[in-house]
């Protein structure tokens, strides 16, 4: 009992008033993850747009708003999309963005806000959340690589929902980085304030192989690129993000393996 | 008490990487060496074998080829980390004495390796209650010459048996039953989605009324030259806050009543 009490006391500075994500203050709002988009001669991004209201049995025509932020986290485009009910609807992000003459960057973040909230969800005091599935196509490969969303990152007033830590904390990615491969680590700041982030690649003898410190703005994604590690290594991300969980892009020549950290 | 399976899929061999370090620096864990065990079903009992003692702050890669001679043909291979050795045999899946965190959970890298490439995700599996069911919306099918699509249903239950259940595959729009196939508990069940008649507009729904499982979607190009692997979320992830599991129940009740064999 004393042991449990001491554990709780020890944990208090890390959890008190520091939620992983905040609840929107209006029950009518909807939530989305901040997904990473990449569009250039090598990359395209796709999104599996499910009609969430139809899945909950709400009949009728529904819409969703897709909202884009550039590589600085600045809003630059949004479009209302008519949903396809219970048919599959794959958004080709480069086609969505082809309405623009020029893109402000070749990567950034985007979110999807469903317009219709089923009444049954309001009654449960829950919020509809788009945390679905993005796929990436690299160098026009015949197969795309899928990665799921996982975070209630932003609400439909564009207010970021991730909490912030009082103290710096480490996210130790449980993944083995190999010497033979190239990597890009994509980390999104889903909080409302700038975050100073230190990335450290260390080997299993605790020697630092790579180190990079950056400030990531709200709604911004930072891409850390590295290759030619001398030995197998791991990643430590230090910041005041509660959970600095990145998306990992692993390259084996023209083949990619993409996953949530 | 998570286990880490060694995956299996067409044209591929499973490879699981375990990590004996915490995914964060603020949730209390024991900084100790841990036992890597292999657990599987044989003759109606769970059997466990110690693979090695894993030093604190280190990792262990286990390939399917490393353990294939230690387990019966086709048995689900489960790896684990624990502070002590597991019983040689048991009538219930051993409860692991191991470190645990919540933000995020301890994970392993669950990979599939072909002759040309590999795909992975960060995962774990905990035993499902035997009376649970599964419903998943599956927008992951990819189309084109030489592309194959599979759902891999991964189940783990405490009882050391391979109970047989039926998996039903429907089209969400027409609600038409497209395929029925047997599956087994404590297995990775490989179900082809190519012989079903789905096209690019089809949103498949995979239902199992007699067993829960983690649905992994696996696509292969030219018999493993390129791979794609990702899992879907449980329906509760479509909402956040409030009574999420009420929303999941509502969604499952709605679809299980709509989808009739």
Q: Are A64 and A118 in contact (CB under 8 A)?
A: no
DSSP H helical ranges for chain A: 2-15, 52-55, 93-96, 119-123
Q: What is the pLDDT of residue A2?
A: 64
State the CATH architecture for B134-258.
Answer: Sandwich (2.60)
Cβ separation A90–B246 shorter than 8 A: no
Q: Would you state the pLDDT for residue A161?
A: 98
Chain A residues in contact with B150 by the CB 8 A cut-off are none
Chain A environment of B121 (Cβ under 8 Å):
259-260
**Which chain B residue has the Cα nearest residue A53?**
B238
pTM: 0.97
Which residues of chain B lie closer than 8 angstroms to A6, CB-CB?
Answer: none
Residue of B238, B243, B249, B251 for testing the chain A interface, max A β-carbons within 10 Å? B238
| pLDDT at residue A1, as a whole number | 62
The burial class, CB within 10 Å (0-12 / 13-18 / 19+), for B225 is middle
Q: For residue B27, how many C-alpha atoms fall within 13 Å in the half-sphere facing its CB?
A: 16
Q: Do A87 and B202 touch (CB under 8 A)?
A: yes
Whether B122 sits inside 8 A of A175 (CB atoms) is yes
The domain spans of chain B are: 4-123, 134-258
Q: Do A126 and B240 touch (CB under 8 A)?
A: yes
Which of A14, A55, A180 is the best mutation test for B, with the most CBs of B within 10 A? A55
pLDDT band of residue B135 (cuts 50, 70, 90) is very high
Confidence of residue A60 (pLDDT cuts 50, 70, 90): very high
Alpha-carbon dihedral sign for residues B222, A225, B107, A90: negative
For residue A3, pLDDT beyond 80: no
Give A166-200 pLDDT, tens digit per residue: 999 999 999 999 998 999 999 999 999 999 999 99
Q: Measured between beta carbons, which residues in chain B are less than 8 angstroms from residue A234?
A: 19, 21, 59
Q: Rounded mean pLDDT of A33-60?
A: 97
Could you tell me which residues are beta bridge partners of residue A129? A31
More confident residue, B125 or B261: B125
Percent of chain B's residues with pLDDT above 90: 97
Q: What number is the average pLDDT over the span B30-48?
A: 97
* Per-residue pLDDT at B62 exceeds 70: yes
Q: Whose CA is closest to B254, among A63, A54, A48?
A: A54
Contact across the interface for A145 and B228, Cβ inside 8 Å: yes
Phi then psi for A249, rounded to 5 degrees?
Answer: -105, 115
Task: Quick: pLDDT tens for B136-178.
Answer: 999 999 999 999 999 999 999 999 999 999 999 999 999 999 9
Task: pLDDT band for B64, please (50, 70, 90 cuts).
Answer: very high
- Considering CB atoms only, which of B26, B201, B202 is closest to A169? B26
8 Å CB contact between A27 and A125: yes
Inter-chain touch B122–A261, beta carbons under 8 Å = yes
- In angstroms, rounded to a whole number, what is the distance separating the alpha carbons of residues A96 and A39? 11
- Distance from the Cα of B97 to chain A's closest Cα (Å) equals 17
Domains of chain A as residue ranges with CATH? 31-155 (2.60.290), 164-260 (2.60.290)
The per-residue pLDDT for A4 is 80
Distance CA B81, CA B4 (A): 9
Using DSSP, state whether A88 is helix, strand or coil.
coil
In which band, very low, low, confident or very high, does the pLDDT at A139 lie, cut at 50, 70 and 90? very high
Q: How close is the nearest chain B Cα to the Cα of A204, in Å?
A: 6
Q: What is the pLDDT of residue A6?
A: 82
Confidence of residue A253 (pLDDT cuts 50, 70, 90): confident
Please give the mean pLDDT across all residues of chain A.
96
A146: closest CA of chain B, how far (Å): 6
**Between chains, do B239 and A87 touch, taking CB under 8 Å as contact?**
no
Q: Is the pLDDT of residue A7 over 90?
A: no
The residues facing A33 across adjacent strands are: none
Q: Which of A23, A148, A261 is nearest residue B230 as measured by Cβ atoms?
A: A148
Distance, in Å, from the CA atom of A251 to the CA atom of A253, rounded to the nearest integer, reads 6
Residue of B nearest to A7 (CA): B28
> Binning pLDDT at 50, 70 and 90, where does residue B66 land?
very high
Given a cut of 90, is residue A8 above it in pLDDT? no
Mean pLDDT computed over B239-251? 94
Contact B230/A206, CB-based, under 8 Å? no
* Contact check, Cβ <8 Å, B139/A252: no
Could you tell me which residues come within 8 angstroms of residue A102 by beta carbon, excluding any fewer than 6 positions away? none
Q: What is the dihedral of CA A138, A142, A143, A149, to 10 degrees?
A: 50
Minimal C-alpha gap between A5 and chain B (Å): 13
pLDDT of B1 strictly over 90: no
Contact B203 A87 (CB under 8 A): yes
For residue A201, the number of C-alpha atoms closer than 13 Å in the C-beta half-sphere is 22
The pLDDT tens digits of the residues spanning B174-198 come to 999 999 999 999 999 999 999 999 9
Neighbours of B49 (CB within 10 A): 15
Pairing of the two strands A127-130 and A31-32: parallel
Contact A124 B242 (CB under 8 A): yes
A196, HSE (Cβ side, Cα atoms, 13 Å) = 4
Is A95 a residue whose pLDDT tops 90? Answer: yes
Give the whole-angstrom CA distance, residue A63 versus residue A61: 7
Check whether A10 has a pLDDT greater than 90. no
pLDDT over 70 for what percent of chain B? 100
């Amino acid at each position: 009992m004393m042991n449990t009490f001491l554990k709780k006391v020890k944990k208090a500075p890390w959890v008190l008033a520091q939620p992983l994500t905040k609840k929107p203050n209006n029950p009518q709002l909807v939530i989305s993850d901040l997904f990473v988009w990449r569009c250039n001669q090598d990359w395209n991004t796709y999104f599996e747009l499910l009609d969430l209201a139809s899945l909950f049995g709400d009949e009728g025509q529904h819409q969703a708003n897709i909202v884009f932020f550039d590589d600085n986290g600045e809003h630059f485009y949004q479009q209302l999309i008519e949903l396809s009910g219970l048919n599959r609807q794959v958004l080709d992000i480069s086609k969505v963005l082809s309405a623009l003459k020029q893109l402000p960057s070749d990567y950034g973040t985007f979110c999807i806000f469903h317009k219709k909230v089923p009444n049954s969800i309001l009654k449960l005091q829950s919020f509809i959340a788009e945390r679905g599935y993005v796929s990436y196509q690299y160098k026009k490969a015949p197969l795309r690589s899928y990665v799921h969303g996982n975070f209630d990152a932003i609400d439909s007033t564009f207010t970021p929902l991730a909490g912030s830590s009082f103290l710096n904390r480490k996210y130790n990615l449980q993944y083995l980085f190999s010497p033979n491969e190239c990597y890009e680590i994509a980390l999104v700041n889903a909080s409302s304030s700038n975050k100073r982030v230190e990335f450290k690649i260390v080997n299993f003898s605790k020697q630092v192989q790579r180190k990079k410190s950056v400030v990531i703005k709200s709604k911004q994604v930072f891409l850390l690129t590295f290759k030619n590690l001398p030995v197998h290594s791991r990643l430590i991300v230090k910041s005041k993000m509660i959970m600095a969980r990145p998306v990992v892009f692993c390259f084996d020549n023209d083949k990619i393996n993409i996953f949530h950290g | 008490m998570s286990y880490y399976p060694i995956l299996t899929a067409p044209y591929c061999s499973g490879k699981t990487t375990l990590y004996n370090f915490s995914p964060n620096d603020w949730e209390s864990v024991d900084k100790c060496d841990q036992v890597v065990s292999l657990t599987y079903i044989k003759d109606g009992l769970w059997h466990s074998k110690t693979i090695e003692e894993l030093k604190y702050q280190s990792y262990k890669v286990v390939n399917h080829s490393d353990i294939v001679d230690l387990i019966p043909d086709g048995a689900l291979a489960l790896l684990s980390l624990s502070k002590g050795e597991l019983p040689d045999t048991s009538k219930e899946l051993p409860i692991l004495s191991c470190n645990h965190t919540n933000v995020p959970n301890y994970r392993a890298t669950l990979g599939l390796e072909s002759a040309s490439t590999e795909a992975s995700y960060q995962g774990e599996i905990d035993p499902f209650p035997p009376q649970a069911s599964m419903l998943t919306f599956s927008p992951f099918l990819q189309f084109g010459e030489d592309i194959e699509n599979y759902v891999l249903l991964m189940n783990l239950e405490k009882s050391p048996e391979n109970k047989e259940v039926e998996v039903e595959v429907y089209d969400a729009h027409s609600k038409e039953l497209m395929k029925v196939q047997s599956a087994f508990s404590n297995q990775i069940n490989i179900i082809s989605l190519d012989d079903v008649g789905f096209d690019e507009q089809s949103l498949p729904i995979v239902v199992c009324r007699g067993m829960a499982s983690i649905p992994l979607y696996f696509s292969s190009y030219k018999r493993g030259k390129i791979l794609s692997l990702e899992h879907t979320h449980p329906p509760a992830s479509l909402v956040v806050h409030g009574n999420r599991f009420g929303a999941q129940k509502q969604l499952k009740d709605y679809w299980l009543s709509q989808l009739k064999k």
